[in-house]
Amino acid sequence: MSVVARIKEVTAEAINRLYSVDIQPNDVLVNATKPEFEGEYTVVLFAFVKQLKKSPDALGQELGEAILASNPGLFSSFNIIKGFLNLTISDSYWIPFLQDAYSKNNFGYGALTGQKVMVEYSSPNTNKPLHLGHLRNNFLGWSIAEILKATGNEVVKTCIVNDRGIHICKSMIAWQLFSEGATPKSTGTKGDHFVGDYYVKFNDAYKREVDELVAGGMDKETAEKEAPIMKATQQMLLDWEAGKPEVMELWRTMNGWVYKGFEETYQKIGSDFDKTYYESNTYLLGKDLVENGLAKGVFYQKEDGSVWIDLTADGLDEKLVRRKDGTSVYITQDIGLAEQKQKEFNASQSIYVVGDEQNYHFKVLKLICQKLQLPSADGIYHLSYGMVELPTGKMKSREGTVVDADDLVQEMINIAKQKTEELGKVKDFTESELAELYETIGLGALKFFLLRVDPKKKMVFNPEESIDFHGFTGPFIQYTHARIKSILRKTGEPGNNVSFHMPLLPLEKELLVLLETFPAVIADAASEHDPSKLAIYVFNLAKAFNSFYTEHSIAHAETPEKKELRLLLAGLTARVIKSGMQVLGIRVPERM
């Protein structure tokens, strides 16, 4: 049990015993004590003042005395500041904690819960390569999956590939018109980039044709419908849906190019999936559910034959679930896929990592699934995140202004190389070791910068700012880990047999308090679906270690016992940094 959980428990017990009032541990609010006050943890008393008819100071005094008397090994003193009960943890608690935590390889990880969770992320289109927005999506999805694993859940990582529709046909038509038979192999181009180039070519040609029609006297709206290249694309979509052999063959070939390109990018960024779904296989799902919904009265049919659901009583609006021609809409496919995934994996929660422009869609999806009484309904959770932009502003795929994921990753590796060489500490590295180090630092900087922000917030990504060895960055944490490992190589690993009775110094205790909260931080990040909580924690831990090491020597500690204590502190700090970063998908080097 963590110290915070223990404080909540003993405070609730003391209130029940002193005042015969039934207070549960979760009713007790415990914060870290502010730096200007003595103590490590603070119990907020205001919630109980009115109920217990006590002044904050009187309540704090009585509670403090009772807590100390019943837990002498845990607390050494207390003080009251304006309604806040500040508790000082006894030094005798910290040494056994440190030894126990160091002895566990999986310190911070939770016990198995027996729960299965699905996390769906990435969701690329096969008409273009992955871009900066996909990187935030992948890093969020992958890290939240690993955080949920760390808290004892069985996790299934899934991806839905949008491999059909008008956008895909645009790339196909453009290739037919402009490629002269070129392929990724013949041009030496990565497959997803190759196909993405033709998506841009389509839009360039479409714009030219519309402009020509408008110049000839046609109004713009009509011109957009009558442009020959658009009409050809719409016909191709009809041919695809009809299964026309030559169209299907081209579709399979071009998608194959894209999948090969995607796989290279996923391997580079460390993203993986247990199961990949394809919209071409799922777009007909949900049709039977529409019939079931009509029979149950969940849906209703209009005179034109279209099928709708009325969600106005739920604060939403009316939503189309089947067109008058009998074809499905996206929400219908998603309902069908939710049902299929539930039958396949029987997960208690299904998390969709999708940008915040789809907030309304997922509200509707969950509500319809609940009204249809699907087993998967209550477990649907939309991990909504804000868009990521560059300092230059928004990106547009059709105009070719998107920041390509591969280009950005390579740029990060190049910046990492430049910054590392400026520090001049890697002269004894081999070429292959340097290449691995630059990739580790570059990708670490990129991932950390995108994960350190609350997912709900929009953000601006600045490549240069993300690789600052002294800032709120991944490289700062990586450098701290490498620094600790260097210390341990020079001084020797701790023996974990410390017998220590001298008082802990403030910076030693600060580090211990932070280390002790690691399991609670992972649990909080999991329950809030927010990797930034873990990213911020690991950064603060690295910062605290650097402050500690600036003031206190390890190799030349005052006594052998102090040296052993500090070796344990350094060893556990390195392990926690490595574990925390690993769960975020970031490698930490042993030296740099």
Domain ranges for the chain, please list them. Answer: 3-89, 165-271, 416-583
pTM summary value: 0.92
pLDDT the model gives residue 492: 85
Reduce the secondary structure of 72-140 to three states and give it as a string.
CCCEEEEEEECCEEEEEECHHHHHHHHHHHHHCCCCCCCCCCCCEEEEECCCCECCCCCEHHHHHHHHH
pLDDT the model gives residue 498: 64
| For residue 398, pLDDT beyond 70 | no
| Tokens of residue 367, six digits | 């509500």
Query: Can you tell me the distance from the alpha carbon of 451 to that of 139, in angstroms, rounded to the nearest whole number?
Result: 7
In terms of DSSP bridges, do strands 388-389 and 459-460 run parallel, antiparallel, or are they unpaired? parallel
**Residue 556: helix, strand or coil by DSSP?**
coil
C-beta separation of 548 from 510 below 8 A? yes
| Tokens of residue 186, six digits | 């013949």
**Residue 343: helix, strand or coil by DSSP?**
helix
Q: What is the mean pLDDT of the chain?
A: 93
pLDDT the model gives residue 395: 43
| For residue 332, pLDDT beyond 50 | yes
List the single range of 290-304, 349-363, 488-502, 540-554 with lowest mean pLDDT. 488-502
Average pLDDT estimate for 409-424: 91
Query: Can you tell me the distance from the alpha carbon of 310 to that of 312, in angstroms, rounded to the nearest whole number?
Result: 6
pLDDT the model gives residue 499: 66
| For residue 510, pLDDT beyond 80 | yes
Residues 6+ apart with CB under 8 A from 90: 72, 73, 74, 75, 76
Using 50, 70 and 90 to split pLDDT, how confident is the model at 496?
low
Spatial CA neighbour of 259 closest among 333, 179, 184: 184
pLDDT the model gives residue 591: 92
Query: Can you tell me the distance from the alpha carbon of 433 to that of 420, in angstroms, rounded to the nearest whole number?
Result: 13
List the single range of 391-395, 424-428, 451-455 with lowest mean pLDDT. 391-395
| Tokens of residue 260, six digits | 């090969």
Query: Can you tell me the distance from the alpha carbon of 510 to that of 520, in angstroms, rounded to the nearest whole number?
Result: 16
For the packed helices 191-215 and 245-269, what is the interaxial angle rounded to 10 degrees? Answer: 120
pLDDT in tens, 81-131: 988 999 999 998 998 899 999 999 899 999 999 999 999 999 999 999 999
Using 50, 70 and 90 to split pLDDT, how confident is the model at 14?
very high
Q: What percent of the chain has pLDDT over 90?
A: 85
| For residue 311, pLDDT beyond 70 | yes
pLDDT the model gives residue 497: 67
Query: Can you tell me the distance from the alpha carbon of 71 to that of 131, in angstroms, rounded to the nearest whole number?
Result: 55
**Residue 349: helix, strand or coil by DSSP?**
strand
Spatial CA neighbour of 335 closest among 372, 306, 304, 310: 372
The CATH code for residues 416-583 is 1.10.730.10
pLDDT in tens, 434-480: 999 999 999 999 999 999 999 999 999 888 889 888 899 999 999 99
Q: Is the dihedral of CA 560, 565, 566, 570 positive or negative?
A: positive
Residues 6+ apart with CB under 8 A from 532: 451, 452, 453, 454, 455, 525
C-beta separation of 582 from 573 below 8 A? no
Spatial CA neighbour of 293 closest among 325, 260, 327, 320: 320
Average pLDDT estimate for 158-163: 97
In terms of DSSP bridges, do strands 300-301 and 307-310 run parallel, antiparallel, or are they unpaired? antiparallel
Using 50, 70 and 90 to split pLDDT, how confident is the model at 351?
very high
Beta bridge partners of 162: 125
pLDDT in tens, 204-218: 999 999 999 999 999
Helix (H) or strand (E) holding 425: none
Reduce the secondary structure of 451-478 to three states and give it as a string.
HCCCCCCCEECCHHHHCCCCCCCHHHHH
pLDDT in tens, 128-154: 999 999 999 999 999 999 999 999 999
**Residue 33: helix, strand or coil by DSSP?**
coil
Q: Is the dihedral of CA 298, 300, 305, 308 positive or negative?
A: negative
pLDDT the model gives residue 397: 43
The CATH code for residues 3-89 is 3.30.1360.70
